[in-house]
Amino acid sequence: MKTPRIAKSIAVLAAGSLLLSACAGATESPVPEERDDDETSAEGEDETAAADSDEEILIGGSIFTLQYAWFLGAQEGMENWAEDNPDANIRFQFEDSNQDIQRNIENLENLASAGADGIVVFPTDSKAIIPTMVNLHNTQDIQFVVGDYPQQPDNPEDAIWETFVGHDMVALGESSGQIAVDHLLEQGIEDPTLLFITVPSSGEVTEQRLEGFRSVVEAEFPDANIIVEGDTGAGDRNSSHTLMENVLQREASIDVVSGHNDATVLGAYNAAVGAGRDGDMGFIGIGGEKEVFQHIQDGNEAWIGEVVQDPVVLGYTAMEALWLAMNGESLPEQYDLPAPEGITPANIDEHDWQNWTWLG
């Protein structure tokens, strides 16, 4: 830890009922018995200059991508923490990795060169940035908190980050699967066909979401036909639209569509609308986009649910954890976050989603 800069700040931590005070002791200089006005004035100026010279503490945020509003919510959460703790004297520098591994690595190096004392990183995969983190930690004493995407080092000694703050990816899929099951039971469909669109570039994250979805569906419908299609394109609406067009040409019946995120499901929905088949199936988004919420709110029967996690809580908790670590606190290996929430036509009125600033 870069102690000379950190020791100048006091952090008052509100979330999680955590309170941290880091006050450095001060030793007063002997006071002369006699001072003239000029000496007193000069001393006052020196004290003012010393107060003004307190450096801000630079904290880096390496963001998976700012193309998705969800990650803007994580950034917002970090900024909210700084607003709640002004005595910490934090200044942020955020870097967009744009879902690219090399840019993720370069961003960490850029933040280190800029003088970051700590970095919250939302990685692009589970391994690629570990050597860079190890190097920056060992050579520049930079402390890391990993958010959203857990890292899996081949050597346990390389796990130099202070903690992991992330949502349960399997639980995301389970929540989507439960919405699907409830819909199928309500419709009286006994041998359902379901489509789940993965994003292979997201690695284990997308596999975990599929795992959760599959486990819940198959627990109720052991013989369900679950079609898994990987969007190997951009993982956005356009690539998913093309993928879905191909699926519709060969699949005569699909009862439910879900996927890795809202973009993939929205692309599939648009393709189904184009083919005149959107009335044949129910769609479940994951992530949080206004368009999906609006479909549900407007009573679009094709949209049977949305699964969300609050990224603002994620960002806030990650920043709080980093500050604790930078001030010598021992952290758990992982921070627990609220479980994902399934939003459906039956409960959407209970949510103030129109005022969620992070919704895309």
Asked if pLDDT for residue 308 goes beyond 50, the answer is yes
Strand runs (DSSP E) across the chain, as ranges?
A: 57-63, 90-96, 118-121, 143-147, 164-165, 193-198, 225-230, 256-259, 282-287, 303-308, 334-335, 341-343
Check pLDDT > 80 for residue 45. Answer: no
**pTM for the model:** 0.79
pLDDT at position 69 is: 82
For residue 62, the model assigns a pLDDT of: 97
What does DSSP say about strands 90-96 and 143-147: parallel, antiparallel, or unpaired?
A: unpaired
247-276 burial, b at 16+ Cβ within 10 Å, e below that, comes to bbeeeeebbbbbbbbbbbbbbbbbbbeeee
The pLDDT assigned to 316 comes to 97
The residue assigned the tokens 């699949």 is 251
Torsion sign (Cα): 333, 338, 339, 341: negative
**What pLDDT, in 10s, does the model give residues 105-146?**
999 999 999 999 999 999 998 899 999 999 999 999 999 999
**Predicted pLDDT of residue 288:** 87
How many Å apart are CA 8 and CA 22, to the nearest integer? Answer: 8
Asked whether 179 and 144 are in contact (CB, 8 A), the reply is no
**Rounded CA gap, 209 and 172, in Å?**
6
Interacting residues of 70 by C-beta distance below 8 A, sequence separation 6+: 287, 288, 311, 358, 360
Lowest mean per-residue pLDDT among 29-43, 60-74, 185-199, 329-343: 29-43
pLDDT, tens digit, 9 for 90 and up, residues 238-267: 999 999 999 999 999 999 999 999 999 999
